[in-house]
Amino acid sequence: MKFHNPRTIFIKNQIINSKNIDLTLFLAFSILIIVFALFFSIANITHDSIDYYSILSGIVSPNEKAIVNNTFFVEQRAPGYSVLSVPAYIGVSLVELVFQREEVILESELVGPKAPEGFFPKVILRATDVLFKKISLFEQNSFFDCKIFTSLFITSILFLILGFFFASKTLWITKLNNKTSFLFLIGLIIIASPIFIQSIIQTPLYATLCAFGISSILTYFLVKGFFEKNNFNFFIAGILLAVLSFVRFEGILLGLTITLFLFLFKEKEYSKNTLKGFLLLIPMFLVYNLFVLNNIFSFAFLKGDLNKILIDINFILQATILPESGLLFFSPLIIIGIIGLFFSKEKLYKIFGFASIIFIISICLRVPVICTCSEGEIIIAGIEQVMCSVQSCTQLVQSDINRYVIILIPFALIGLQNIFYKVTKKLRK
């Protein structure tokens, strides 16, 4: 006689009823995010976003001059975010063609606070300030094209909203009682992650929000596939892991780890189907290399001019427990949520936990070059001269490490939900 786990049956019923998420509330929440992003998000590009802007520009306008003179690091950047922005670019171009042409203005005509060094344009602008404008950048002898900005911006906000939606659906189907508030948990983890808020306001054109959305969708398919015992959902999750890796290279390690632990936990069919989908990453890169970089076997992303792989105790402490930059202080609920995954009896949640720990260990071993030299020392990063300083290192660790772990939020939410349930259960006794 075959016995059925009551917990599994309950979750299957939750999957069937997962359409019960209040779409009206979610729509209102989405509109709030869009309005907030339009009026508060900074439109200027800097550091990573210059590269993503340049990649998209190279795809849609290959003959256009690059926005900055130095695009050395573009080939070392994962191109997926920019590639996913191409449909938005087509849509924005059609809107401009039908409704309003771009207005060309000089950078000197812009009014507003001066932007920090390395920002383009040189005046702080909000998203609403650059709509239907093409700004001439005098020093770079190039243009800041609102179509490129808007396309990347739309893609970030779209995946941010999708991320919230699928995180909500995942928490709905995994919740342990009907009183668990998944909206409360999502709001709580975002508020407790200042770098996530920073990603919306200060760096909306980084790949962070896009990666968060993809991570939320793949988590949903992994959970749904596990409890429905559906191999095809794991294949879809594998494809999404490939897309995540195409957007952020860190996704490669996450994909390999999840696939490996599915195998180690005796879920060989799930592991095989996940791997099948994940292997689509190879043709993704080959096609991009061939048609954009004109070199099908380009491995420029392996150069590592900005980071070194090494064990640096000081860096590990900065990345994890020191109050000025560490994960325990800037992403506390993500860490607590990951720990909460191990309090569950479900194998999949433990797999999420192990994958998260290995992911965090890996980013702690990838040390920025400015953190490997002495105070005041001048080093060469790519083709640029960079002065090393403790302050610059701390700021970089604070922003980068806490930004990388944002793709772990969908996993951490499940762990937080598990802790929330166990605590409320004990309090009711």
**Residue-wise pLDDT tens digits, 315-372:** 999 999 999 999 999 999 999 999 999 999 899 999 999 999 999 999 999 998 888 8
State the pLDDT at residue 18. Answer: 45
**Residue-wise pLDDT tens digits, 164-182:** 999 988 988 876 544 445 6
Q: What percent of the chain stands above pLDDT 90?
A: 61
Residue 286 CA to residue 295 CA, distance in Å, equals: 9
DSSP for 357-393, please give it: HHHHHHHHSEEEGGGSS-TT-EEEETTEEEE--HHHH
**Residue-wise pLDDT tens digits, 57-109:** 999 998 888 888 767 678 888 999 999 999 999 999 999 888 877 788 999 89
With b meaning 16 or more CB within 10 Å and e meaning fewer, what string describes 177-210? Answer: eeebebbebbeebbeebebbebbbebbbbbbbbb
State the pLDDT at residue 103. Answer: 86
Is a pLDDT exceeding 50 seen at residue 192?
Answer: yes
State the pLDDT at residue 11. Answer: 53
Residue 64 CA to residue 416 CA, distance in Å, equals: 48
Residue 45's Cβ-side half-sphere holds a number of Cα atoms within 13 Å equal to 24
State the pLDDT at residue 21. Answer: 54
> Which residue did the predictor score with more confidence, 425 or 403?
403
Asked if residue 291 lies in contact with residue 251, where contact means CB atoms within 8 angstroms, the answer is no
Domain residue extents for the chain: 1-187, 304-429
Is a pLDDT exceeding 80 seen at residue 303?
Answer: no
Q: Which amino acid is at 322?
A: L
SS3 call for 267? coil
State the pLDDT at residue 252. Answer: 95
Confidence of residue 391 (pLDDT cuts 50, 70, 90): confident
Distance spanning both ends of the chain, measured CA to CA: 35
The pairing of strands 133-137 and 142-145 is: antiparallel
State the pLDDT at residue 216. Answer: 96
HEC string for 281-302: HHHHHHHHHHHCCCCCCCCHHH
* Residue 31, burial from CB neighbour count under 10 angstroms (0-12, 13-18, 19+): exposed
Q: Which amino acid is at 32?
A: L
For the chain, the average pLDDT equals 87
State the pLDDT at residue 339. Answer: 96
Is a pLDDT exceeding 80 seen at residue 227?
Answer: yes
Q: What percent of the chain stands above pLDDT 70?
A: 90
Residue 391 CA to residue 217 CA, distance in Å, equals: 37
Residues in a beta bridge with 275? none
Count CB-CB contacts under 10 A for residue 320: 18
State the pLDDT at residue 3. Answer: 43
Q: Which amino acid is at 9?
A: I
Residue 171: alpha-carbon gap to chain centroid: 19
The mean pLDDT value for 390-409 works out to: 92
Q: Which of 228, 231, 232, 279 is nearest to 255 (CA)?
A: 279
Give residue for tokens 């960079």: 386
State the pLDDT at residue 131. Answer: 86
Is a pLDDT exceeding 80 seen at residue 2?
Answer: no
Is a pLDDT exceeding 70 seen at residue 383?
Answer: no
Q: Against a cut of 0.85, is the pTM above it?
A: yes
Give residue for tokens 């520009």: 57
Residue 86 CA to residue 60 CA, distance in Å, equals: 7
Residue 50 CA to residue 120 CA, distance in Å, equals: 9
**Residue-wise pLDDT tens digits, 235-293:** 999 999 999 999 999 999 999 999 999 999 999 999 999 999 999 999 999 999 998 88
The mean pLDDT value for 293-310 works out to: 79
Q: Which amino acid is at 389?
A: S
